[in-house]
Every structure is written in structure tokens, then in C-alpha cells.
Amino acid sequence: MLTAASQQALRPKALIVPHAGYIYSGAVAASAYATLRLITKHIRRVILLGPAHRVMVRGLALPASDAFDTPLGKIMLDTAAINAIIQMPQITISELAHAQEHSLEVQLPFLQSMLPDFTLLPLAVGTASSEEVAEVLETLWGGDETLIVISSDLSHYLPYATAQCVDEKTVGSILKLRQPIEHDHACGGTPISGLIIAARKHNLTPRLLDLRNSGDTAGSRDKVVGYAAIAFTE
């Protein structure tokens, strides 16, 4: 993992961040968002992908809403980005898929705290291929104004030592840009795999910022959930 000083010098194009309750994974997620400090003035659009936990979705689901609200205020959705992908066969619209999707909503206060002004494109990823995700990311890639955030936890409910071994292997694959990442190793395996394909094409380098699990933060070590923060830089 990088030192704190090295993390502060990063200028990431994409982040992988966890999405458990803040007492469990908030500190790990914060280590990823802290890397945005040098580039906050450039970021105007965030492409946010996370797994659909509660509703069956074919492909990648946009919400029907035109804005998301949090206690920190309203975030407008990016109309231009929506129009750029809305005709793709893997894109669907499902307000239900977004209604209670925590993998996306827990990222919003972090983004609002770090970025002074941005629009959002949220996608709940269901049964899609890595290539379908990569195609969407490529269409929305943009330049310095666009940040990609992939929301994913790692292994679920394994004993502490077992989880450490499994998560280290998963992170090792991500750092070597190897996909697919299986869903039993990361609940956001499909969006992570899509990012890996795009990262190869754009010569991004992944860097591990933090790797822990709920046994390290606020939970029992009998059954833990793994968390990683990874930054992809150009």
C-alpha cells in the first residue's frame, strides 16, 4: 500500500471504493476520496457504478429521476451523459433498482464533501458482461473533467484469516489488471472487470491505498466483509 504522502500526490482517473456502513468501511473509502484533493477543481462529472443488490436488473440501470438528494443537498444527474448511452442495448431505466441501492447512495456524501460542483451518472449494474460495462465506460470516458467510481466490497462473511487470503488474491488480480473478478470475491465484480478492460486500453495504473475488513474496523472476526480502496492513475 502507498504511504499517506504518496496517496496525496495521486491524480486518479478512477477509484474502487467499498460501500458498507460508514463505521465498517468509511475509513477505507475515505482513503480513496482523499486522493482527489489535487484535482477537485477539474472534476465536473462523476460516473458511479455499483452492483444492484435488491432488484434484478438486466444490464446497467439508470434511474428515472433527474437528481439525487442527500442531507448535504441535491446532485443533478448528467443529461448529456445519459443521452450518450441511453440507446445502448445494455442500458435500461429502473427507478426501483435505485430506490434503496446503498452501493451508490453511500458514495454521495463523500463526493459532495470533496467536489465543489459536479453532475452525476449513477448506474446500478445487474446481469451484464464485463465488455458491456467497458463499452459504457469508454463512451463516457472524457478527460480530466470525468471521474469514474466503482463501488464494491470484497469477500463476504468469511472467517477473518480466510478473508484476508481471499481478498489479497482479489486485489492482486486487480493490481495486475486481470479479469474477470468473480462475484463471490467482490460484489461489484462486473463493474470492476469492466474498469479493468478500460484501464488496459487507456494505460491506467492501479495503486492500492487501503485493504482491511470489518474485523479490523467495527465488527466481529468470526464472519467479516472485505474492503479495498484502489486508485487508477494515468
Q: What pLDDT sits at residue 66?
A: 95
Reference 177, options 136, 232, 122, 112; nearest CA is 232
H or E, element range at 91: strand 91-93
How many CB atoms neighbour CB 114 within 10 A?
18
Q: What pLDDT sits at residue 175?
A: 98
The larger pLDDT score, comparing residue 4 to residue 74, is at 74
Query: What residue has cell string 487470503?
Result: 165
CATH of 12-233, one of 1.10.600.10, 3.40.830.10, 3.80.10.10, 3.30.70.380: 3.40.830.10
Determine the 3-state secondary structure of 145 from DSSP: coil
Is 96 within 8 Å of 55 (Cβ atoms)? yes
Query: What residue has cell string 466481529?
Result: 220
Q: Which amino acid is at 234?
A: E
Rounded Cα distance between 212 and 203, Å, is: 27
For the chain, which residues make up each domain, given as ranges? 12-233
Q: What pLDDT sits at residue 29?
A: 98
Q: What pLDDT sits at residue 167?
A: 98
H or E, element range at 198: helix 189-201
Grid cell locating 59? 444490464
In the 8-state DSSP scheme, what is residue 232?
A: E
Asked if pLDDT for residue 60 goes beyond 90, the answer is yes
Q: What pLDDT sits at residue 1?
A: 80
Rounded Cα distance between 175 and 154, Å, is: 14
pTM for the whole structure: 0.97
Asked if pLDDT for residue 187 goes beyond 90, the answer is yes
Q: In this predicted structure, which of 50-54, 81-85, 178-182 has the lowest mean pLDDT?
A: 50-54
User: 156-172, pLDDT tens digit by residue?
Assistant: 999 999 999 999 999 99
Q: What pLDDT sits at residue 5?
A: 62
- Percent of the chain scored above 90 by pLDDT? 94
- 8 pLDDT band (50/70/90 cuts)? low
